[in-house]
Structure 1
Amino acid sequence: MTGNSSSSRLDNATLSLFQNTNTSVAISLVYLVVVAINLVGNGFSIWILLFRTSPKTPSIVFMIHLTLTDLALGAALPFQIAYQLQGYQWNLGPNMCSFLTLIFYTNMYCSILTMMAIGIDRYLGIVRPMLFRQIRRRKSMAVVSCFLMWGVVLSVLYPLMTTDLTFYIPELHITTCFDVLKKDMLPNQAAWAAFLFSMVFLLFLFPFCVTVFCYITVIRKLASDSKTAQKKRAIRLAIIVLVVFTFCFAPNNILLMTHTILRLFYEKSAYQAYKLSLCLSCLNSCLDPFIYYFASKDFRQKLRQIVNLHTLSSVDSTKMECKESTLYSPHCTVEGQNREHRKVCLTPSTSQLKEPE
C-alpha cells in the first residue's frame, strides 16, 4: 500500500520493487511452501475437529473457526503467487482483487482475535473455573463470538470492500492489485488515521495484550499445582502463541503503521519491507495446528490415535509398565513360559482416559 496521490506517478522505491524479479520470486516461493503446509496441516485438522472430536466445546468451536480462515488463505494465496510471477500484473479484475485482498487480511485479524478468544477460554477454565463455568460451556457463546469477530474485522476493513484496489502504472504498463492505494480512498487524513489506528491498535495491539495477560495468569496459576504435564503444555501453548504474534503479526502491523505515516506525511516509503513482512504474516496458518494440539486434550488424543501414538495402548509401553511394577496387577497375564514369563497388561483405550483441561 503506497498511499499515493490520484496521479499515477510513484516513488522510485516502489517502482524498483515492481521491477525486482528476485524479490517477487522469493516471496512466491515462500507462499508456495505456506500453501502446501497450510492445506495439508489445516485440512487434516479440520477433519479431526469436525468429524473426530466430540463434544464441540467452545475451544473446539474457536479452533474450527481458525482452521476455516486458514484454509481460505491457503486457497487465496495461489492467485497472489500467479500475480507476482507475472510481474505484478493483475488480470482478474477489480472485484476479484477486492475479494482476495479481503480474504488475506480477514485471515490475519480473525486469527489474532480467535487466538485471543482461545486464551480467554483457557483463562476462564483454569483461573476462574467456578465463576464462569456456565458461560464457558455454552457452545452458542463461542459461535456468537466468532460472528462478532467477523463483524469487527469487516467493519474496520470496510474501505477495502468499497474501493477499486487495482491501479494502472503507465511507467511499467502493469495493473497492480492492492500494491498501490490512492490517498483519496479515504476523505481526509483523519479518516486515514482512524483506519490505521483501528487496524494496528484495535485488531492487533489490544488482542495481543489480552492474550499475553491470559497466558501469563494461566502459567502462574498452574505453577502452584502438581499437574506438571498440564503446566508444560500451557507453557508450550503460550510460547507458540507469542511466537505467532511476535514473528508473524507484529512486523506486519508495525511496518504498516510506519509505511502509512511515511507516505502520508513525509512522501517516503517502507513498502518493500512491508511487502516482505506479509510473508511472515502468512506463516501463522502453518503454526495454528500446533496451537490446537496444546490447547485441546480431545484433539491431542484423537491425533495420537490416528497416527498410532497411543501413550498407554502401545504394547512396548505396557510391557515396561508391568515390568517396573512391584505388585502384580489383576489385569496382567503371563504369556508363555518359553518367553521368560513376559507380562502383557490389558489397559483401557486412551480414548477412555480423561485428564483435566
Structure 2
Amino acid sequence: MTGNSSSTKLDNATLSLFQSGNTSIIISVLYMVVTAVNLVGNGLSMWLLLFRTWPKTPSIIFMINLTLTDLALGVALPFQIAYLLQGYNWNMGTNMCSVLTIVFYTNMYCSILTMMAISIDRYLGIVRPMLFRQTRERKSIAVIGCFLMWALVLSFLWPMMTTDLTYGIPELGITTCFDVLKKDMLPSSLAWAAFIFSIFSLFLFPFFITTFCYISVILKLAKDSKTAQKKRAIRLTTMVLLVFTLCFAPSNFLLLSHAVMRIFYNKSLYMAYKLSLCFSCLNSCLDPFIYYFASKEFRRKLREIINLHSLSSMDSMKLEHMRSLFSAESAPEGQERKE
C-alpha cells in the first residue's frame, strides 16, 4: 500500500518500480509457483478436512476457514500475474481491482487471526483443559469466531472497499491497481496514521497471543513429560512462528515504515514492500504443514491416503507379475522353447 497524493506526479521510487521489467518478472514467477502449490496443497487439505476428518473439532473448523482463505488467494493470484506481466497495466475494471485487492489482504489477516484462534484452542485444551470442555459449545464458538474474523478484517479494510483503487499514470500510459492509493481516500494524515496502525495491529497483537499460547503449551507438555506430544508441539510452534516471521512480519513492518516515511517525510519504501508481499503469499503454501502438526485426525487420514496409494501401486505390480507368470505357464510347450 502507498499513500501517494492524488496528483499525477509520482515519486521516482514508485515510477522505477513500474518501469522495472525484471522486478515484475521475478514477482510473477514467484506468484506462479505459489499458485500451483497453493491450489494443489490446499485443494487436498480442503477435501481431507471436509470429507475425511471427523469429528469437526474447533481446530478443524478453524483449519477449514484458513484453507478457504488460502484457496481464494490461489484463485486471485493469476489475475495479479497477468497484471504484472502486462507492465502494471490493469484492464479488468475498477470493481475487479477492488475484489482482488480485498481477497489478497483478507487472506493475510484472516490467516493471522485463524492461526491465533488455533493456538488459543490448543492452549485451552492442554494448559486450561477445564475451560470450554463441552464439544458442542466449543464448535459454536469456533463457527462464530470465524465469522467475527471476517467481519473484523473487512471492517478494517472498509476504506479500501469504498474507494476506486485504480490509478492512471499518463506519463507511462498505464493504469495501476492498488499500487498507488489516492491521498484523498482518507480525510487527513491522522486518519491515514490510524488506518495503517489498525492494519498493523491485526498482525502485532495476534503474533504476541499466538507466541504466548504455544510457549505455554510447550512448557506444560515439558512438565508432564509427554515426549511425542511435546515434539509435535515444538514442530507446530516452529512452523507457525516461521510463517509469522517469514511471511507476515516483513510486509507488515515495511507497511508501517513506508507509511511513516510517506506521510511524514515524503519518502518511499514501496519497492521493498512490494517484494515483501510475495513472501506474505507463501503462508498459503505452508498452512497444510500446520494442519499436519496441529490435527491428529488430519495426520491419520493423510497417512491413510498415502498408504492406500502405495498399496495400490504394489498390488498392481504384483498383479502384473502374476499375469506374466500365468501367461508363461499356459503357453504351448513348443512356443515356450522357441522363446
TM-score, structure 1 normalization:
0.85
Q: How does 1:1-357 map to 2 (within 5 A)?
A: 1-134=1-134, 138-201=138-201, 203-308=202-307
Cα shift at 1:132: 2.8
Give a deviation string over 1:81-133, Cα, whole Å, max 9, x none. 00000000000011000000000000000000000000000000000112331
Once residues 273 and 171 of structure 1 are traced to their aligned partners in structure 2, the CA distance between those partners, rounded to angstroms, is: 23
Give a deviation string over 1:31-63, Cα, whole Å, max 9, x none. 000000000000000000000011111000000
Would the aligned equivalents of 1:58 and 1:136 in 2 still touch at CA under 8 Å?
A: no
What secondary structure sits across from 1:9 in the alignment? coil
What secondary structure sits across from 1:307 in the alignment? helix
Once residues 97 and 52 of structure 1 are traced to their aligned partners in structure 2, the CA distance between those partners, rounded to angstroms, is: 36
Once residues 284 and 157 of structure 1 are traced to their aligned partners in structure 2, the CA distance between those partners, rounded to angstroms, is: 20
Would the aligned equivalents of 1:135 and 1:141 in 2 still touch at CA under 8 Å?
A: no
Q: Percent identity?
A: 76
Structure 2 counterpart of 1:34, which letter? V
What secondary structure sits across from 1:138 in the alignment? helix
Once residues 128 and 134 of structure 2 are traced to their aligned partners in structure 1, the CA distance between those partners, rounded to angstroms, is: 11
Classify 1:136/1:280 alpha carbon distance in 2 versus 1 (closer, same or farther; 3 Å): farther
Cα shift at 1:309: 8.1
Once residues 20 and 97 of structure 1 are traced to their aligned partners in structure 2, the CA distance between those partners, rounded to angstroms, is: 22
User: Which residue of the partner structure matches residue 316 of structure 1?
Assistant: none
What secondary structure sits across from 1:179 in the alignment? coil
Cα shift at 1:192: 0.7
| Higher RCO by CA contacts (8 Å cutoff, separation 6 or greater) | 2
What secondary structure sits across from 1:187 in the alignment? coil
Would the aligned equivalents of 1:66 and 1:110 in 2 still touch at CA under 8 Å?
A: yes
Cα shift at 1:189: 1.2
Would the aligned equivalents of 2:57 and 2:135 in 1 still touch at CA under 8 Å?
A: no
Would the aligned equivalents of 1:124 and 1:136 in 2 still touch at CA under 8 Å?
A: no
Cα shift at 1:263: 1.0
Structure 1 counterpart of 2:160, which letter? L
What secondary structure sits across from 1:8 in the alignment? coil
Cα shift at 1:261: 1.1
Would the aligned equivalents of 2:83 and 2:89 in 1 still touch at CA under 8 Å?
A: yes
Cα shift at 1:166: 0.1
- The alignment covers a number of residue pairs equal to 309
What secondary structure sits across from 1:133 in the alignment? coil
Once residues 186 and 245 of structure 1 are traced to their aligned partners in structure 2, the CA distance between those partners, rounded to angstroms, is: 29
Once residues 123 and 12 of structure 2 are traced to their aligned partners in structure 1, the CA distance between those partners, rounded to angstroms, is: 49
Once residues 308 and 164 of structure 2 are traced to their aligned partners in structure 1, the CA distance between those partners, rounded to angstroms, is: 51
Once residues 219 and 253 of structure 2 are traced to their aligned partners in structure 1, the CA distance between those partners, rounded to angstroms, is: 30
Classify 1:126/1:25 alpha carbon distance in 2 versus 1 (closer, same or farther; 3 Å): same
What secondary structure sits across from 1:180 in the alignment? coil
Would the aligned equivalents of 2:168 and 2:175 in 1 still touch at CA under 8 Å?
A: yes
What secondary structure sits across from 1:89 in the alignment? coil
Once residues 226 and 52 of structure 1 are traced to their aligned partners in structure 2, the CA distance between those partners, rounded to angstroms, is: 31
- 5+ unaligned residues in a row in structure 1: which ranges? 311-357
What secondary structure sits across from 2:210 in the alignment? helix
Would the aligned equivalents of 2:127 and 2:220 in 1 still touch at CA under 8 Å?
A: yes
Once residues 136 and 87 of structure 1 are traced to their aligned partners in structure 2, the CA distance between those partners, rounded to angstroms, is: 52
Cα shift at 1:290: 0.4
Structure 2 counterpart of 1:236, which letter? R
What secondary structure sits across from 2:168 in the alignment? strand
Give a deviation string over 1:193-233, Cα, whole Å, max 9, x none. 111111001x1000000000000000000001232111000
Aligned Cα RMSD in Å? Answer: 1.2
Once residues 2 and 208 of structure 1 are traced to their aligned partners in structure 2, the CA distance between those partners, rounded to angstroms, is: 24
What secondary structure sits across from 2:287 in the alignment? helix
TM-score, structure 2 normalization:
0.89
Structure 2 counterpart of 1:198, which letter? S
Structure 1 counterpart of 2:298, which letter? F
- 5+ unaligned residues in a row in structure 2: which ranges? 310-339
Cα shift at 1:2: 2.8
Once residues 14 and 194 of structure 1 are traced to their aligned partners in structure 2, the CA distance between those partners, rounded to angstroms, is: 23
